[in-house]
């Protein structure tokens, strides 16, 4: 089961975060997986509001670095969204790592 973590994004600013992955309290090696992650208005919504850029940490095999550009966060309106991050192994099996809500704080300075 995926962990639940809500994230907060400042509209118009670069967003970066690290996700540490453990299974049964042991570091989980992510080096052989591919990753995807999206933000949508609701789980059932077919439109993707933003797609995360996801990379593994070069020093720690159980840490993902996720990010959005300031252009991507500028396109998000001030509201609540949902997101998840998934890992897929070489056999095509997909695992949901983390999921939750995204809260976008509106940008005042333009």
Predicted TM-score of the model (pTM): 0.90
Taking the C-alpha atoms of residue 83 and residue 12, their distance in angstroms, rounded to an integer, is 18
Q: Is residue 45 part of a domain?
A: yes
Asked, for residue 37, whether it belongs to a domain, the answer is yes
Q: How confident is the model at residue 47 (pLDDT cuts 50, 70, 90)?
A: very high
Q: Token digits for 70?
A: 């300031």
Q: What is the pLDDT of residue 109?
A: 79
CATH number, position 11: 2.60.40.10
The answer to whether residue 39 is domain-embedded is: yes
Arithmetic mean of pLDDT, 3-22: 94
How many domains does the chain fold into?
1
Q: How confident is the model at residue 1 (pLDDT cuts 50, 70, 90)?
A: low
Range of the domain at 53: 3-105
Cα separation, 47 vs 1, whole angstroms: 25
Residues in the chain: 110
In a domain, 110, yes or no: no
């Amino acid at each position: 089961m995926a962990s639940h973590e809500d994230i907060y994004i400042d509209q118009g600013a670069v967003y970066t975060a690290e996700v540490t992955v453990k299974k049964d309290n042991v570091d989980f090696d992510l080096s052989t997986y591919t990753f995807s992650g999206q933000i949508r208005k609701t789980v059932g919504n077919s439109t993707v509001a933003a797609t995360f850029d996801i990379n593994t940490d070069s020093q720690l095999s159980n840490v993902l670095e996720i990010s959005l550009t300031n252009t991507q966060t500028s396109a998000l309106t001030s509201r609540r969204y949902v997101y998840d991050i998934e890992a897929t192994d070489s056999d095509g099996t997909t695992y949901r790592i983390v999921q939750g809500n995204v809260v976008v704080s509106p940008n005042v300075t333009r």
